[in-house]
Amino acid sequence: MADLVEVPLPGGRLTAAQLQVLAELAHEHAGGTLVLTAGGLGMRGDRTELTARLTGHGFDLPGEHRHRLLVSPLSGRIGGHVDVWETLAGVQDRLDGTGPDREIVVGIDDGTGDIAALAPEVGALALPDGRWALLLDGTDSGVRLPPGDVVEALVAAAQRPRRAGVAATLAALGLEPSEPAAPHPPAPARPVGWLDQPDGAVTLGGGLPGAVLPARMAEFLAAVDRPLVVTPWPVLLLCDLDEWAAEQVVRVLAPMGLIFDADSPALR
């Protein structure tokens, strides 16, 4: 089987121009297919060739060690206690400069419980009172952080050795639990279908069976020229649409295989 070359997308965010470039490269070098990879996109082919092409188009590819940044994909548009994108940017900037020397998943949950449910090794969950719960090894550590301390705590926790343990990690960070560990909020349903934004716009969540995104479909999505988010699930979000545009997208892309029915057996 050909190598899978992944393009990491911190938080899954993707511009239409980036998706168009990836679609063209997939046509030329990856059999016309892209693959969703938990907040990123990848393609299968010759690793050397794809790496050269991708870097030539300005994509940063992971080295031997990498971090995966997952965030609540609808944050700032629908639900949640806080917009997490600024926090993501702070964590990304710090980890890109002094990241851990191993693979690690860092999750930032806006309070909906979607990312916490994935049990990231290091994470933060926004709380209704404005504080954040520090998550370690997929569970609530009992530590509560003010907003200004979240980035520093996440970056420091990400540097710890694997399987260091929650107590040892907190001791190394100089943190102590202030509350009993709390269960995560119930995970919401995957964001598939027509999703109304409070500002009157629409986000469309399209499910992709097998996490496969045909390059031709990607070109149609890029042509809409709206913000895109690759979620941690086999679901792609097309955001900030007006109702007319959203209806046209569904009319064109549903017959091509993009699924807008959350109950579709093809997404199970």
The count of C-alpha atoms lying within 13 angstroms of the C-alpha of 110, restricted to the half-sphere facing its C-beta, is 19
Beta carbons of 47 and 3 less than 8 angstroms apart: yes
Which residues on adjacent β-strands are paired with residue 133? 125, 144
The pLDDT score that the predictor gives to residue 72 is 98
One domain for residues 50 and 79? no
Q: Which of 112, 142, 173 is the last residue of a domain?
A: 173
Residue 185 in domain: no
- What CATH number is associated with residue 10? 3.90.480.10
One domain for residues 44 and 97? no
Q: Which of 145, 173, 201 is the last residue of a domain?
A: 173
DSSP H or E run through 200 = none
Q: 95 pLDDT band (50/70/90 cuts)?
A: confident
pLDDT in tens, 212-259: 999 999 999 999 999 999 999 999 999 999 999 999 999 999 999 999
Residue 68 in domain: no
C-alpha distances in Å from residue 36, one per residue of 6, 24, 43, 71, 117: 9, 16, 9, 15, 19
Query: What is the number of domains present in the chain?
Result: 2
Residue 151 in domain: yes
One domain for residues 219 and 249? yes
pLDDT in tens, 159-196: 887 777 899 999 999 999 999 988 888 989 999 999 99
Residue 116 in domain: yes
What percentage of the chain has pLDDT greater than the value 70?
Answer: 97
Q: Which of 139, 173, 207 is the last residue of a domain?
A: 173
Rounded Cα distance between 98 and 231, Å, is: 25
Residue 258 in domain: yes
pLDDT in tens, 60-69: 887 655 788 9
Q: How would DSSP label each residue in 236-256?
A: EEEEEE-HHHHHHHHHHHTTT
One domain for residues 118 and 169? yes
Residue 184 in domain: no
Give the domain extent around 253: 1-63+191-268
One domain for residues 21 and 55? yes
Residue 203 has pLDDT above 60, yes or no: yes
pTM given for the model: 0.94
One domain for residues 162 and 83? yes
Mean pLDDT score across all residues of the chain: 93
One domain for residues 141 and 85? yes
